[in-house]
Amino acid sequence: MSLLLTAPLAAQSRFEGTELTVSASATTSSGTYAPLWLTANRYGVGSVEPTSAYGRVAVERLLQHDAGRPWQLGYGLDLVLAARHERTFAVQQAYVQAQWKKLRLTVGSKQQPMETQNPELGSGELLFGINARPVPQARLDIDWFAFPGTRGWWKWKMNGSYGIMTDGSWQQSWSRPIDRYAKNTLYHEKALYWQFGRPELFPLTYEIGLRMATQFGGTSYGVTTARAHDGLATTYEHATDLRAFIDALLCRGSDATDGSNPNSSGNTLGSYVMQLRYHGERWQARAYWERFFEDHSNLTVQYGIRDMLIGGEVTLPKNRWVSSAVVEFMSSTNQSGAVYHDGTANLPEAMAGRDNYYNHLNYAGWMHYGMVIGNPFFTSPLYNAALGEDHRLRVYNNRLKSWHVGIAGDPSAEWHWRLLASLTRNWGTYEFPLEDCYTQTYLLAEAAYTPRWAEGWTGKLAVGLDHGDLIGNSTGVQLTVARRLRLK
């Protein structure tokens, strides 16, 4: 394998295409927390604290620098030093990538882009968003390839990975002494996408995909369940043998806490995604949809399709005013219904409701370092003090509706701006409902300046505003300066 990699790369410099980026950012705000859009969807680098700062140094070589070659090589090391953050020092990214034709292998911690949303203007995908720090993993991607015999009208794409979540010690130190947390949690994800259409012949394409993830293995501490040990807090060592990896892949197995009604082992969740694209010569448009599920009850349409994220994006012809715009609506209030009941001998009928998005009995839930991995409108544990549940590793607000708009423009080659406006109505969870329906508004205005007279330099000034009953009111300003250098 090493010989195959070395031969095609020997003729080029190992540093060709490598870039060094040095950046610094500072945020100050008036509220208990920094405005949401100064923190969210930044791969966990942003801090929820009202005043914070960080410095960042990244060395990266992207696969695109080998475009057109059979073998492509990429790597990166991204370090963050922060003040008033959950982590003072963090290895944000550390990875190596190798690609041969349609096959791409990534080993390490790398920020992965979203499949269906604009990362600058969208609110965030429900399953694999960009709100939390990346999880170290070994990941294999197979890029779009035409299914045999379809002449390119039916294409496939897929990926799969195994990894380990690195926030176990942080969970232990941050959570309450009697609260549930997990260490050495293993991670698995997989996805399959289909695309129908050939845009070079007809400007419309349709994509559909199924994506799933599982947290498994490791050790769960402080687990409380009436099914075991009379409700006492208990420690569970979860299996990490070969069978546990296969169970995660095939969504089977069970946990010791399942009792007489076994479920799939670990925390298994996923989503369906679809998008319809218009590939115009001067402008493009697309509509996208995502349906999240926590277990089998929403894996099918047994309980209808009531929870979803639906959005639209348009990219306009080049002009000085607006380059692209996004509109989204999301609802998560149903969660298969409010009633949950396992079948028993006396009452065999089973009701599979109260899915409790992003939460789990044995694990902290769908989060990494206290930030939800999916859409940031689901209130991350780092905000739980506002809900009276400080230092509890649970999502206490996952039943909500949101409306979101994002607009961006490029007045010139040197200037870029974006506006985000979001409105949410929040009901808490089925188990812990809020006292009332809380309304929260999140606003952002940001301008970026990349001067021609200072090659490689970029400055950003952002103003954020939060208003509402959920996490309170806050007005903040964020200044970011970055310098990018080509090493070779």
pLDDT at 352: 67
pLDDT at 7: 41
- Asked if 487 contacts 18 with a C-beta cutoff of 8 angstroms, the reply is yes
pLDDT at 231: 60
pLDDT at 350: 55
pTM passes above 0.85: yes
pLDDT at 287: 98
pLDDT at 230: 53
**Distance (Å, whole) CA 273 – CA 208:** 6
- Asked if 336 contacts 303 with a C-beta cutoff of 8 angstroms, the reply is yes
**Which two three-digit tokens encode residue 478?**
């964020």
**Distance (Å, whole) CA 178 – CA 183:** 15
**DSSP H/E element including 170:** helix 168-174
- Asked if 286 contacts 277 with a C-beta cutoff of 8 angstroms, the reply is yes
pLDDT at 421: 98
- Asked if 460 contacts 479 with a C-beta cutoff of 8 angstroms, the reply is yes
**Distance (Å, whole) CA 169 – CA 182:** 9
**Distance (Å, whole) CA 366 – CA 126:** 10
Name the residue with tokens 């498994």: 216
Of 22, 25, 20, the residue nearest 83 (C-alpha)? 25
pLDDT at 295: 77
pLDDT at 11: 43
- Does 2.40.160 match the CATH number of domain 104-475? yes
Name the residue with tokens 């949401």: 36
**Distance (Å, whole) CA 114 – CA 268:** 20
Of 107, 109, 114, 120, the residue nearest 79 (C-alpha)? 109
φ, ψ for residue 133 (rounded to 5)?
Answer: -65, 145
pLDDT < 70: residue spans in the chain: 1-14, 226-231, 259-261, 339-353
Of 479, 271, 223, the residue nearest 374 (C-alpha)? 271
